[in-house]
Structure formats: structure tokens, C-alpha cells
Structure 1
């Protein structure tokens, strides 16, 4: 059961999945601290308090924790929902290593920085929960999203260790693993692909051009073909407040099918299916 005495912190709360999480928690009477880089992106709501936070700054994470601590009053922090993230794409053969570092800094290191900063407040609650927005890409790594997939694999491993480390204190850890989610991010996906291709050397375009064309097609279909962000938000609410939360939430039919296929099919068979979709042969 939830009550107005409970609060959660949600990172990456300005759009997409993060905004859906804020809306879902607030609709269930939960006080929400919406952590964003731009406070103006958070809509006014009596149960929602915007908090400035760039997850790549440990100093900002600790400052945000102090702000939340001062604002809690009689409310107790029940959940840390680490949702902020970015997606870096492109063939690993030609990847700028600074882009890989940026990917890992946001999607892995930043998640731990926020968790470390807010864990003391969670311990005060006595039975809090930590949630990470991962992806089915943390199980199955498709071509041209190697940096993103690597970050989600690392995030899953970090969450697994953290879950076992915090178990003695009754603090739960869950990961959310959706596949395609219909969010505004897909509206600019084609432009993002064009930017990646434009920065590659001619040899990379020669080798991977057909795969990029497949990615453009997949991106166009994803905006309307994915699950609504509210489904991921509902899983986050369950992960924080259910009596028996899951360690992993495969959100949506697509995620469950991909996870099952990647786990059951011989890797040569699965690789062939992925290769045919991306490279046409």
C-alpha cells in the first residue's frame, strides 16, 4: 500500500519514460522529486517538486540529495528511480572512444552517483527500493548500438551486485527492461542517424551503409509501434511499492519475445536473424 507519507526521486524526468513515471507516481498519491537539468521542463503539480540534477556530476547528486532531505519534512523517501540515460550509436569499429566514455558516464557511472547520494535517505525509510531503467538491449546487443548495449549490460551487472549487497538491510533493487517504447525521442531519430553517418569516414559508410538504412526504417516504425511509456511507469510503480517486487521487469511483449529468443535459440540462429534484419543477408 502507498500513502502520502511516501516519496520517490525520479531522474531524467522531463520527457518520455521519466515524465510518465512522474505522472504515474503522482496519480497514485506519491510525492515525486523530479530530477532534471532544466527545472522549467517539469509541469506544475501539487505532489511534484522539480530538483536540478545532472547525473554526470557527483557534486550535483549530493547537492540534490541535500535539497530533497530539507524538503521531505515528515515524508520519507521510499524509492530511487534511476531513469536518466542517453543512447550512443554507430559501428564499434569506427567509434570515437570519447563517445563511449560519455555513454558509460551517463548510463552507468551517473546512475551509481545518484544512488550513492540518495541511499542515506532511503535507509531512513527502512525498506526502500532502487529501480534502474535498463533495456532488453542489456540482454541482446544489436548491431550499431554497441555503446548503448554495453552500458545496459553494465547497468544490469551493477544492479545485480547492488541487489545482493543491500539485501541484508531490506532494500530492494530492480531493473526495468522494455524493448521499443513510443516516446518523442524517435521524432529526431532519423536526424541522429544522419549526424552519426555524417561524422563517419567514407570507409565506414561504405561498409555499414545498408545497416544504417535499416536503422532508419526501424526508427520510423518505432514511434508508433512501441509500447506506451506509461507501461514502463507502471512497472516502476510496482517495483517500488509492491510487496514482492521483481528483480527484472521485461516490459511488453516485444521485450519478452526477444529475451526468450535470445536465451533459447542457438546463437548462430539468432545472429542470422539479426543479421538479416540489419544487413539484408
Structure 2
């Protein structure tokens, strides 16, 4: 292999390494550009190679990088074309609004971290709601590594201890599934918001506490939240791409 081809090979490796670094840093737009440039250079190298073994290895890497670049291009395109703002109004006693329906579309393979701000993850049923949300995350395709919860404390010391104990148990359970639960307490938190690091922001008037209690534990809707009656609330869905544009305009 000549010096010219060796130089192209070194450039291709350097550019593709940068593409991977940008990919890992979630700078997907820039990463796609580097993947495309690096692949073009690597294709030139493959054409000039005479070593069949090396040519086969490079072709395999080209296929791998091309698949990732296409995946990123599709994701970036979807983010740019996403609605700036979508609003769902849930009427009192409405059914059909399970966490699966509300959140599943945000749980894709680009999601690695979730931030939940809700001052009322305190009582038993509120922590159960959080548990059900976490179960949805765990069984999804999303490779979530961290869930950050910021919530308030009950004024009663006994209730505080119970809240901390239950959240700690949830954290230990999530840890067995490769997800870290980071808990912070705030005495000034008022807003309820869930931020997904794949670009989505969801604001719910009542936070995760949108469901009414059933008559008893043997009533339809106790287990299946699609059948559970809801409190009236509003769900606002934003795409971070548009939010950032508004903040910089």
C-alpha cells in the first residue's frame, strides 16, 4: 500500500474516531458529518487494498459505521421535524391514559438519562406511581443509565423516614437493572416536569399523580392504568430542539 493510501487510511481512522467521540457526546449533527467524511475516505482505502483479510475487516467496519450514521440521520431529522408543542388535556374521570400511552414514544434507543422534578413523590401511592414509571423505563428499549429525581419532603419526621426508605428500596431495585436512581430533596420545588435527554420535555399539571383511587383493590383499573379513572390535568410536550431555538432567538 502506497504512502498516499496510507495517508488516506490515517485520515479515515482519525475522522471516524472523532465521529464516535461526537456520537458519545450526543453531538449527533456533527457526528453524522464526520461519519460520512470518514466513510468516504475509508471506501477509497478499500478500493486500493490488496490484502483480502484487511479489506474484509474494513468492509465490516464500513457497514457498522454506515448503519450508525443512518440511524443518527433519522433521529436528527425526526427531532428537527418534531412538533414544537403538543398539548393533551385529560378530562376528569377519563380513562386510557396509562404511562405506556403517555411516555412510551420518548423511550427510544437514544435515551440514557431522565430527570424528574415533582414535589409530591411522598406518599405510598405517589411512590407506586414512580415505581410504575420506572418499570416502563426498564422494560423499554431505552438504554437508560440514570434517573434523577428531585422531590419534596413531608413535614412529619416519621413520614420523611418512610419516604426515604421506600425511595431507597426503589433505588436498590433499579440498580439490579443497571439504572442508578439519584434522589435530591428540595423545599422550594413547585413545578412538575420530566426531561428526557433525547430532547423531550413533558410537563404535567399533576406530575405522575394523575390517577384517582379505585373503590377497592379488587376493582377494575387497580392494576391496569389504562382502565383507571384520571384527575383532570394538562400534559404539555415540548421538543428541546425548538426550546433551544426560542431561547437563543
TM-score higher than 0.5 here?
no
Report which of the two has the higher share of helix: 1
Q: Which has the higher contact order (CA 8 A, sep 6+)?
A: 2
Question: Which of these two proteins has the greater Rg computed from alpha carbons?
Answer: 2
Q: Normalised by the size of structure 1, how large is the TM-score?
A: 0.22
Q: Normalised by the size of structure 2, how large is the TM-score?
A: 0.24
